Amino acid sequence: MCGIVAYIGYREAAPLIIKGLKRLEYRGYDSAGIALLNDKGLNIYKKKGKVAELENELQHKEISANLGIGHTRWATHGEPNDINAHPHFSQSEHLAIIHNGIIENYAAIKTSLIQKGYTFESETDTEVLINFIEDVKKHKGCSTEEAVRLALSEVVGAYAIAVIDLEEPGQMIAARKGSPLVIGVGQNEYFFASDATPIIEYTKDVVYLDDHEIAVVKDGELAIKNLDNQEKGPFIQTVELELESIEKGGFEHFMLKEIYEQPKSIADCMRGRLNADTAHIQLGGLIHYIDKLATAKRIVFVACGTSWHAGLVGEYLFEELARINVEVEYASEFRYRNPIIEEGDFVIAISQSGETADTLAALELAKHKGATILGVCNVVGSSIARLTHAGVYTHAGPEIGVASTKAFTAQVSVLSMMAIATAKQKGTLTDEEYRSLLSEMASIPRKIEQILQLDEEIKDIAKLFTFASNFIFLGRGLNFPVALEGALKLKEISYIHAEGYPAAEMKHGPIALIDEDMPVVFIAIKDSSYEKVMSNIQEVKARKGRVIAIVNEGDETVRNMVDFAIEIPNSHEMVSTLLTCIPLQLLSYHIAVMRGRNVDQPRNLAKSVTVE
């Protein structure tokens, strides 16, 4: 978690860093800070709250500098306050650091530093690290660069750091292990950030730092070394990210923009991969693996949060279409069990960011145990994408809103294409079924456009439920994961307690909650569970629950049973989740806005969870 931005060059560092931090606020936003080095000294400014508060704080300060490091925090060690905010000084105030990650052995290092006379202002592991670096420097009589290298060799945990030194005003040192760090390479200037968004308006040339690497800019030159001090040339890549894609483009919130982008993001995801006219599907990233996937004994999806819900959809798809045994695991549980991996098993990580610590660790474990590991990631060049044997990018474009929307539908689109392609390879689909699925997939963007036109209608329904304290979401089959996703969306942005359940499970417990104050959202489309779901609706109505149902166009039967019906276009059951989730996203969005919540940056959350 946390976002870091650093700059060394000829521009004013402070405004550039503040702007960059605002772009990274999705990674954490409980406090922010900046350290600036100029000919008058090394100064740190930090503030509890959002980057805008830090910006206000800086307004009348002398902050002109061409070298600086900045941080937006998601607290791990110590509550969010001015003192725990980064950057942190070393004891001599000659070194300053920003850090994203967790130093797991910080307590032992801190104890030994205290014995040497060090004192600490904050409760953070980061202050321990910078003092450890200072201590190594002092005792070895070495350069700061060498001290960073030696200190990091003894550190257990995850980090992306940037360190500056009062005595070396032409130097920036950065390093990573387990937390992302991108370096923008300009003309006589360098940018460092947790992702490329703070960099792209200055340069598209970037270096993705690898684990156990240190980047040092000194006298205008960038050098990349490993922890054994061996130098390797910077591998400069061009980042394909446009500025417009990370701005709100007239929408009130990123989340709304991203909901509305789904016809395009799904079309982008399928472009060049699925052609319904020629009945062709090909996923470039899997070209050498599709045979093996078709004969896989088992697929295990590992993921967290919304991506885990996409994995559940994937389970139904692969089992139904390709007849492969599938398990879906919370990455955080998988990594700490002793999972059984056998020859022929595929472990597939699903992750928007490609940086989620638990998913990454689960994948490392699976790789170590001999599984073929694949990735379904959105962020190009992310850690998971680089760890896997092969994979498929979702191409949804940057997702900035903390609540995942377009990344989910792009993940489901990729999993659908993977399942169809595998089934085709395996021969478990007839030609007719195959063609029909491809044309159903191709029609999804147009059908989502139609659903988006219901926005006002959904907003009107949302108004009536703005002050509900609880919600239940029910669905069956493929749409059970959509019910889970609907509940997660609502709770994370509106802070309303919500539960998702398989509709038939309701009578085994949750039915006790039903009364006239309980809104129940049903996914009641005309699929193989339609009749069963109708019975479940009757059960809720009999107990005076208030029902909102997602139904197919023209379904008067369900409309007459429920309080509110939201009609979506008909579709093949196998692709229906790509449609049913859209009204639920809009419903949550409007309820949260009406409750006055910060939908893009809900409390306590961060977009990319790079800590355990």
Chain contacts with ligand M6R (rule: CB under 6 A) = 304-307, 351-353, 356, 359, 402-404, 488, 492, 605, 608-609
- Alpha-carbon span 13 to 16, nearest angstrom: 5
401 secondary structure, DSSP code: S
Which regions of 304-408 does DSSP assign to beta strands (E)? 325-330, 345-351, 372-377, 390-393
- Alpha-carbon span 570 to 526, nearest angstrom: 8
Q: Are 393 and 214 in contact (CB under 8 A)?
A: no
Beta bridge partners of 35: 44, 69
- Alpha-carbon span 376 to 163, nearest angstrom: 33
Q: Are 485 and 309 in contact (CB under 8 A)?
A: yes
Please state the closest distance from residue 147 (CB atom) to ligand M6R, in A.
Answer: 34
Q: Are 516 and 569 in contact (CB under 8 A)?
A: no
How far is residue 529 CA from its own chain's centroid?
32
Q: Are 483 and 501 in contact (CB under 8 A)?
A: yes
- Shortest Cβ contact with ligand M6R: which residue? 305
Other Cβ atoms less than 10 A from the Cβ of 361: the count is: 19
Q: Are 475 and 522 in contact (CB under 8 A)?
A: yes
Q: Hey, what are 510's tokens?
A: 């949750």
2 catalytic residue (yes or no): yes
| CB-nearer residue toward ligand M6R: 359 or 529 | 359
Please state the closest distance from residue 609 (CB atom) to ligand M6R, in A.
Answer: 5
Q: What is the dihedral of CA 255, 258, 260, 262, to 10 degrees?
A: -140
Closest CA to 274 of 420, 449, 478, 433: 420
| CB-nearer residue toward ligand M6R: 31 or 411 | 411
Please state the closest distance from residue 475 (CB atom) to ligand M6R, in A.
Answer: 18
- Alpha-carbon span 100 to 47, nearest angstrom: 17
377 catalytic residue (yes or no): no
| CB-nearer residue toward ligand M6R: 444 or 609 | 609
| CB-nearer residue toward ligand M6R: 47 or 491 | 491
* Residue 190 CB-density burial (10 A; 0-12 exposed, 13-18 middle, 19+ buried): buried
| CB-nearer residue toward ligand M6R: 1 or 283 | 1
Please state the closest distance from residue 303 (CB atom) to ligand M6R, in A.
Answer: 6
| CB-nearer residue toward ligand M6R: 95 or 396 | 396
Please state the closest distance from residue 339 (CB atom) to ligand M6R, in A.
Answer: 19
Q: Is the dihedral of CA 479, 309, 401, 348 positive or negative?
A: negative
- The contacts of residue 531 (CB under 8 Å, 6+ apart) are none
Q: Among the options 177, 257, 424, 607, which is catalytic?
A: 607
| CB-nearer residue toward ligand M6R: 4 or 304 | 304
Q: Among the options 2, 304, 377, 581, which is catalytic?
A: 2
- Alpha-carbon span 478 to 533, nearest angstrom: 13
Please state the closest distance from residue 584 (CB atom) to ligand M6R, in A.
Answer: 12
Please state the closest distance from residue 298 (CB atom) to ligand M6R, in A.
Answer: 22
Please state the closest distance from residue 256 (CB atom) to ligand M6R, in A.
Answer: 14
Q: Hey, what are 564's tokens?
A: 């509110």
The catalytic residue positions are 2, 607
